A and B are shown apart, each in its own frame.
Chain A
Amino acid sequence: MTNQQDSMHACPACGLLCDDISGDAIARQQFSCGKAAKFYARVSTGAQPQIAGRAASLTDAVAAAVAVLKQANTPLVAGSSTDVHGARALVRLAQQTGSAMTHMNASSTLRNMKVLQHRGWQTTTLTEVRNRADVILMIGTDVVTHNTRFFDRIVWVDDAMFTDPAARKIIYLGGDKLSTKPGVSPDGRAPEVIACAAEHLPEVVATLRALVMDKPVTAASVAGIAVSTLKTLADTLKAAKYATLVWVSKDLHYDHAELTIENITETVVALNQKSRAMGLSLGGSDGDTSVNYAHTWLNGVIIDAPEWESHDAVVWVNSYSPDAMPPAGTGPVIVLGAPDSQFDATPAVFIPVATPGLDCNGQQFRVDGSVTLPLTAAKPSDLPTLSQVVALIEAQLQGDLA
């Protein structure tokens, strides 16, 4: 049995990894998702390696990158916007050059990891939510800003095994500038919106947790929300067959937001004493899950936090975010990345590499962590892959050492 290469592609432009993108949709540039449209509109042709902004051969660019790395005492592998194969290559490069390794989404990833490493959590995955969730509570997020097709693919679906999808109860709790329209059911039922600014979520979520745990709450309101409203919410969660509490780490970007996340996950833990509920962390990509996971199995530890000041050279990979660059003033920078990269400051070395899922095949983790999907070259190009370029760099580093 072989994997038939049918015409469907998995879209790596966000953590949802929708794998129903037809070759035809790509050819016609017809998408129900703006992020996908932007991703598949990218053009890789004409990109060439550069040294200090001037066109160079791949061999010379590799030699220049090696020269930068050899002069550096404390290089950093950063950005790391790639897939599993790219992550493996970067981990090897980091090991060989004694570099720390981080990711452009490290701060949101590590916010979740702090919770995981402190208390653990109880979570679910997309297919479970699709088939079981009767109550979906989104905390501090509308999800769709990050995962455009969440409601189309997971919530308002035609069929579910254990619940009536059209009857699901959708609740938004707090957050800034939410787009709640996707939460309207197919038959026009509006979602419940319990509004507060994201910065007030710590107290609001702490109160919700206390109410779920049947702890006495004396205040009449929290951050402008009546406690009775939160009590009703707590009762709704308890009565649910499968309550799903959703957060997006990137949307909880205030100080000590990990404490809010922990209150969400501990609310789930409390609910699971008697009924069923699960957490679901959404958002994500630039391969953040893949990179953190591969880093973990290859090194036994999660990715590092970025500390730009303490590094004297940066290997920057921006395959899914051509606009992203390290903070100004860091350098010298070696970009192994998007052929359509946009530079404010010219990097020391630029080597365009194939983007997995666009120019070449690959494998990517979905945001819920349990599912990995193959990425297929939607618009094959002959750019080298990140692994190939890293292999060239490694070979030369090794050769120079020998």
Chain B
Amino acid sequence: MITLLKNAKVIDPANHKDGVVQDIYIRDGRIIAKPADSEKIGQVHDLNGKIVMAGAIDMHSHIGGGKVNIARMLLPEYQAMRRLEEPEAHICGANCSHHATPNTTDTGMRYIEMGYTAAFEPAILAVNARQAHMEMGDTPMIDKGGYAMLGNDDYFLRLLSQNADQKTINDYVAWTLHATQTIGIKVVNPGGISAFKFNERRQDLDQQHSHYHITPRRILQALSRAVNEIGIAKPLHVHCNNLGVAGNFQTTLDTMGASDGLPMHLTHIQFHSYGTEGDKKFSSAAANIAEAINSNKHITADVGQILFGQTVTASGDNMMQHLNAKVANPKKSVIMDIECDAGCGVVPFKYRDQNYVNALQWAIGLEVFLSVDDPWRVFLTTDHPNGAPFTSYPHLIRLLMDKTFRNDAFDKLNLDAQAMSNLKSLDREYSLYEIATMTRSAPAKLIGLQDRGHLGVGAAADITVYTDQADKEAMFAKPDLVFKDGELVVKEGKVVKVVWGATHTAKPAFDVGVEKDIKQYFDRYHTMQMNNFKISNDHIAEDGRNHVINHAQG
């Protein structure tokens, strides 16, 4: 059956279309060229010039896995809010939630209601990947995928400290992608999570790890090179050293140089753009960071915008979260060392607009957004749930598109923070085309999803239809229609059909000989068999709903 979207006003940066009115034809979940007149059209939606974009892709959102579930457990406070915030129209699970720790059903529902058709879990602990996939498998409506964390695992640090050749490292990295069913590689506080286990409290970029005697810079070099040489699309995803520390912008700038010009993605860069100026020794270094992004074309970044309210931060960075636990609100936190593989830290936060630091964090994020020139290299994230729940994206989009709205919000901030920000001097307002770039075309390109994030012939028919409105928050909160793989799944912001999506992976070729040594390591030091560490396609598809879509690389 062919579905026709008539008179669509297409905003599709990947195909350089900015408001072209055209018809879109869909068959078997794909966008097709205009069929012959003789072919029967099953379903017609006359869009009368409504805005049409590809489904949005969240390239960094903590939607599944150990620390996300710990965050759910940690905050029964949220349960009191259950059902109270029920918006007017949607299907929900029994315990409907719209806050920072949604259950898996609600995660999928809230995303699709906003026109998002995919989300990527950016911090899959390799050893915990099975759980992450179980949770993502129970997340309906959207496609999923993840980045596996390396760079603090003892296997890799041993390799590096023993001067293993790059080929061995490449093979191990590729093996990890296969074993964990992921599509990218992330490093969190390179070397720092491991150093914390040896009682170190900070790990600087050029400081030797106290046990392995290698630097984070060396870790970044080896991993960025591996990712590049095995040929996956997604650049190394980097959560820099010194998360959240005043003055950390210098580490961030230095980190940009650590890959010797190879592509790197710096994540939640807002949390890494802090200076030490002013009475409070905490200032915005967004201008320096944005300038560096503008001039370093090998760097991409997502922002990790904070928005005010209660949330919970869930990070692999147990070293820095252990420090942050002192300012937890409510006052509780979970810090874990995990399996000689990684760690995690879950710390609830309440960001308040009258708090100097929080107010400035808010401004810093927006300064970065508005000062990075190229929307292909900066991504719209709140680092859900760390900066704010992903459900606040429509609000964030309005902050970017509407200067008056933004400045009104700025005027309500802590006055000392206002004095330390140049936000009001930034006149830029994002266009719909730029929003479509940073939420559709660019993430698809970055991750290597050739057939997503655009509306060209052959693309998957993940499509969102909006009514253009002056209030961009209202516009992006409630699309008119959302199609997932060609099926109409949302009407007027309400889910009309439940679908399950797929899991996207990258499985580059590698020398399986590397497994011999990995197996020895497991047998000598681990508490499970290597074979049980590996996740098969069958396990992803176990409950008959999910399936793996592997993306050919290179």
Contacts and interface: CB of A to CB of B under 8 A. Distances in A.
B534 A1 contact: yes
Interface in A100-145: 113, 116-128, 130-132
A301 interface: yes
Contacts of B525: 127, 130-131, 159-161
B178 interface: yes
Interface stretch (B3-11, B66-74, B225-233): B66-74
Q: Could you say which of B94, B178, B334, B346 has the most chain A C-beta atoms within 10 Å of its C-beta?
A: B94
Given A122-B334, A123-B336, A3 B95 contact: no
B340 A131 contact: yes
B134 A3 contact: no
Interface string B316-333: 000000100100100111
Contacts of B339: 125-128, 370-371
Contact of A363 (B72, B82, B130, B154): B130
Interface string B513-539: 000000000001111110110111111
A128 B93 contact: no
B106 A300 contact: yes
B149 to A, nearest CB: 12
A84 interface: yes
Interface of A: 1-4, 6, 8, 10, 19-20, 84-85, 88, 95, 113, 116-128, 130-132, 153-154, 158-162, 241-242, 272, 275-276, 278, 293-294, 296-302, 363, 365, 369-374, 387
Contact of A85 (B332, B334, B542): B542
B101 interface: yes
Contacts of B524: 158-159
Contacts of A120: 74, 325, 328, 332-335, 346
A275 B197 CA distance: 10
A363 B536 contact: no
Contacts of A122: 322, 334-336
B334 A161 contact: no
A344 to B, nearest CB: 33
Contacts of A95: 93-94
Given A4-B531, A153-B527, A84 B134 contact: yes
Nearest to B177: A1
A127 B97 contact: no
B135 A297 contact: yes
Contacts of B328: 120
A111 to B, nearest CB: 14
B336 A299 contact: no
Contacts of B105: 298
21 contacts: A3-B535, A20-B529, A116-B74, A117-B74, A120-B346, A124-B337, A127-B341, A127-B525, A128-B338, A132-B197, A272-B322, A275-B199, A276-B197, A297-B68, A297-B104, A299-B93, A301-B79, A302-B76, A370-B125, A370-B127, A374-B539
By Cβ-Cβ distance, the 4 closest A-B pairs, closest first, are: A300-B103, A120-B332, A127-B339, A3-B536
- Name the residue in B82, B527, B532 with the highest tally of chain A Cβ atoms < 10 Å from its Cβ: B527
Contacts of B73: 113, 116-117, 296, 302
B131 interface: yes
Given A120-B333, A126-B527, A300 B134 contact: no
Contacts of A84: 134
Interface of B: 64, 66, 68-69, 72-76, 78-79, 82, 93-95, 97, 101-106, 125, 127-128, 130-131, 134-135, 138, 154, 178-179, 197-199, 211, 322, 325, 328, 331-341, 346, 507, 512, 524-529, 531-532, 534-539, 542-543
A294 to B, nearest CB: 8
A363 B127 CA distance: 14
Given A19-B528, A126-B339, A296-B103, 14 more contacts: A6-B529, A20-B529, A120-B346, A126-B527, A127-B127, A153-B527, A161-B340, A162-B211, A276-B199, A297-B69, A298-B105, A300-B78, A300-B82, A369-B66
A306 B130 CA distance: 29
Contacts, number: 185
A386 B10 CA distance: 48
Contacts of A162: 198, 211
A370 B534 contact: no
B136 to A, nearest CB: 10
Given A116-B74, A242-B197, A363 B332 contact: no
Q: Which residue, of A153, A275, A276, A296, has the highest number of chain B Cβ atoms within 10 A?
A: A296
Contacts of A276: 197-199
A19 B74 CA distance: 30
Given A1-B178, A10-B532, A298-B104, A125 B338 contact: yes
Nearest to B99: A300
Contact of B340 (A119, A128, A241): A128
A300 B72 contact: yes
Contacts of B68: 297
Nearest to A302: B73
A297 B337 contact: no
A182 B102 CA distance: 44
Given A299-B93, A371-B127, A121 B334 contact: yes
A168 to B, nearest CB: 15
A208 B538 CA distance: 49
Contacts of B78: 300
Given A1-B534, A370-B127, A293 B94 contact: no
Contacts of B197: 128, 132, 242, 276
A297 B527 contact: no
B543 A299 contact: no
A158 to B, nearest CB: 8
A293 B69 contact: yes
A299 B105 CA distance: 8
Nearest to B125: A370
B5 to A, nearest CB: 33
A8 B519 CA distance: 14
A299 B101 CA distance: 11
B234 to A, nearest CB: 19
Contact of B93 (A19, A130, A158, A298): A298
A160 B526 CA distance: 9
Nearest to B179: A1
A301 B543 contact: no
Contacts of B102: 300
A365 B332 CA distance: 24
A274 to B, nearest CB: 8
B182 to A, nearest CB: 13
A1 B530 CA distance: 13
